[in-house]
């Protein structure tokens, strides 16, 4: 998701991944999965196949851990703030994890698309050997919105496949 706030000074672009499952919904999915796997494992246990229990516990634990990790990263936010002399990029989940800045003077904005569209385009800010990737978690449509947001703010976006788009 791309959100442009340019009525205020300094202008900001806020980037977030598309979140199809909230943490509350993820906990419901985990609970339902745990319930069904444990019911089946206990049924096998009572028929004498006790060896199923540790593997069912391992399956449920791994599923819960991976679902937590995936859901956790859907809360990643990238805030791009446009000051007079520089652009500030702050990235984090619930709090700032990293903070980078790049000078506006001599700034180049690039979109690098793959040859056969097998991956989402890479959106970068480049200046004097410094390269900052933006929105690595965005899908193709959100990258287009990000490009339009930069163009709305007056930046020229260079495309390695200029003849296609």
pLDDT of the chain, 165 residues: tens digit per residue: 899 987 778 999 999 998 888 999 999 999 999 999 999 999 999 999 999 999 999 999 999 999 999 999 999 999 999 999 999 999 999 888 899 999 999 999 999 988 777 888 999 999 988 999 999 999 989 999 999 999 999 999 998 877 676
What pLDDT does 120 receive? 86
Q: Check whether residue 37 and residue 49 sit in a common domain.
A: yes
What range defines the domain where residue 140 resides?
Answer: 2-19+75-159
**What DSSP letter does each residue of 113-164 carry, written as one string?**
--TTS-SPPEEEEEETTEEEEE-TT--HHHHHHHHHHHHHTTPPEEETTTTT
* Residue 44 domain-assigned (yes or no): yes
What pLDDT does 165 receive? 61
What pLDDT does 143 receive? 92
What pLDDT does 95 receive? 87
* Residue 165 domain-assigned (yes or no): no
* Residue 89 domain-assigned (yes or no): yes
Q: Check whether residue 9 and residue 38 sit in a common domain.
A: no
What pLDDT does 134 receive? 95
Q: Check whether residue 123 and residue 63 sit in a common domain.
A: no
Q: Check whether residue 61 and residue 127 sit in a common domain.
A: no
Q: Check whether residue 144 and residue 80 sit in a common domain.
A: yes
Q: Check whether residue 148 and residue 82 sit in a common domain.
A: yes
* Residue 83 domain-assigned (yes or no): yes
Q: Check whether residue 98 and residue 48 sit in a common domain.
A: no
* Residue 164 domain-assigned (yes or no): no
Report how far residue 22's alpha carbon sits from residue 3's, in angstroms, rounded to the nearest whole number: 19
Q: Check whether residue 61 and residue 94 sit in a common domain.
A: no
Q: Check whether residue 92 and residue 143 sit in a common domain.
A: yes
The total domain count for the chain is 2
Q: Check whether residue 98 and residue 44 sit in a common domain.
A: no
Q: Check whether residue 92 and residue 11 sit in a common domain.
A: yes
Q: Which residue has the tokens 């339009």?
A: 148
What pLDDT does 113 receive? 87
Half-sphere exposure of 161 (CA within 13 A, CB side): 10
């Amino acid at each position: 998701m791309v959100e442009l706030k340019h009525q205020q000074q300094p202008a900001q672009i806020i980037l977030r991944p598309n979140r199809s499952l909230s943490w509350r919904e993820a906990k419901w999915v985990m609970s339902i999965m745990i319930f069904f796997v444990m019911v089946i494992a206990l049924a096998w246990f009572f028929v004498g196949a006790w060896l199923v229990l540790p593997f069912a516990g391992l399956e449920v634990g791994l599923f819960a851990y991976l679902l937590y990790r995936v859901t956790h990263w859907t809360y990643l936010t990238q805030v791009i703030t446009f000051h007079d002399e520089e652009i500030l990029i702050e990235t984090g989940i619930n709090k700032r994890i990293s903070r980078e800045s790049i000078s506006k003077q001599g700034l180049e904005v690039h979109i690098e698309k793959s040859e056969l569209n097998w991956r989402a385009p890479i959106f970068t800010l480049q200046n004097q050997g410094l390269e900052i990737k933006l929105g690595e978690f965005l899908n193709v449509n959100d990258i287009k919105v990000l490009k339009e947001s930069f163009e709305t703010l007056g930046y020229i976006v260079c495309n390695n496949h200029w003849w296609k788009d």
